Structure formats: C-alpha cells, structure tokens
Amino acid sequence: MVVDQAGNSKVKYILWVTLLSCPFACGGSCPTRQAKDESALVQVEQSWAERLERQDADAVGCILADEFQDIDTEGQLHDRAESLAHIAHRRPGRNQLSEIRPHVHGEFGYVRGLNTIVDAEGNIRAKVRFTDIFAYRDGRWLAVAGQESLVSGTSK
C-alpha cells in the first residue's frame, strides 16, 4: 500500500474515486424507478429523440433492450448493435415529436407517433410515423421493437 506524507492511503483515494465515478462509467446513469404509466412512455420517447439529436449512442443504449429490433423507413431490419452503430452517422437535425399516443398493458406498452425531422435551416427533411414497443423491466421501460414508415411526400 502506498501512503503519502500526510499518512493517507492512495489506494483508499483511488477506491473512492472509482466508487464515485462508477454510476456514470458503469452504466448507472440509465434511468430507474420509472412509473409504469403512459406519461413515462412519452418521456422515454422524448428522451430517445433528444439523445439521437445529440448522437449519444450510450444514452440511447439505456433505452434499448438487448433483443431490440427495428424496421427502418426502407423496410430493413436492424438489431440493437446495428441501431446503436448507426447513430454516429446520423445527419444533423432536430426531431419534433407529435401525435404521440402511448398505451400501457401490464408489463408492456407501445407508443405511436409522428417524428418531423427538421434541418439546421428549419426545413422539414422528413416526416416519419413510428411505433415503438416497450417492456417494463427492473423499474424502467426498455424498447424491444420499433418500426418507422416514411410519410408520403417527404424525403429522407
């Protein structure tokens, strides 16, 4: 054990720093104790949209269950790893969610809505209807599946 001139253990210091930073570095920043209701599902959707805008794959990873699968606007199926890897390559833009309709059925829920993707100049780049399916596990909502459909007359 290494001890400094004041007699303090550096091992003790390192242990405290590790324990204090672990909630952030060890994935502890994922939400917990979410309500099992429709308003919580809306909050998850809004958080998901904001995290996509920031290209924050780690934060989105807190929302996606291990078995998550998504069907994109082109009909392609993507698993969780592919979905997270794609985040870094997203074009800049804001996600404006509307027409949000959450539903809770016991341990499962789903949300239907419209995402209007707007570029930096304020132009609508695309409108995408979506359905996301969630499972309530360990006190939080996890997305297990999603599907997007491009609204006619908009481009990607």
For 96, the token pair is 């404006």
Say what the pLDDT of residue 155 is.
64
List beta partners, residue 136: 141
Pick the closest to residue 93 from 127, 45, 57, 61 (CA basis): 127
For the chain, give the percent of residues with pLDDT over 90. 74
Q: Give me the mean pLDDT over the 115-121 stretch.
A: 95
Residue 155 CB contacts under 8 Å (≥ 6 apart), including other chains: 125, 126
When pLDDT is cut at 50, 70 and 90, the band that residue 5 belongs to is low
Amino acid identity for residue 13 in this structure: Y
pLDDT at 152: 83
**pLDDT per position as a tens digit, 25-78:** 334 478 889 999 999 999 999 999 999 999 999 999 999 999 999 999 999 999
Structure confidence at residue 32 (pLDDT): 87
- Cα–chain center distance at 18: 26
Domain borders along the chain are: 1-30, 32-150
Fold of the domain spanning 32-150:
Nuclear Transport Factor 2; Chain: A, (3.10.450)
Instruction: Please state the rounded mean pLDDT for residues 96-122.
Output: 97
- What's residue 30's pLDDT? 87
Distance, CA of 48 to CA of 61 (rounded, Å): 10
Q: What is the DSSP letter of 79?
A: E
Which is more confident, 18 or 61? 61
Contacts of 103 (CB under 8 A, 6+ apart): 38, 109, 110, 111
Strands 124-137 and 140-150: antiparallel
Distance, CA of 100 to CA of 114 (rounded, Å): 7
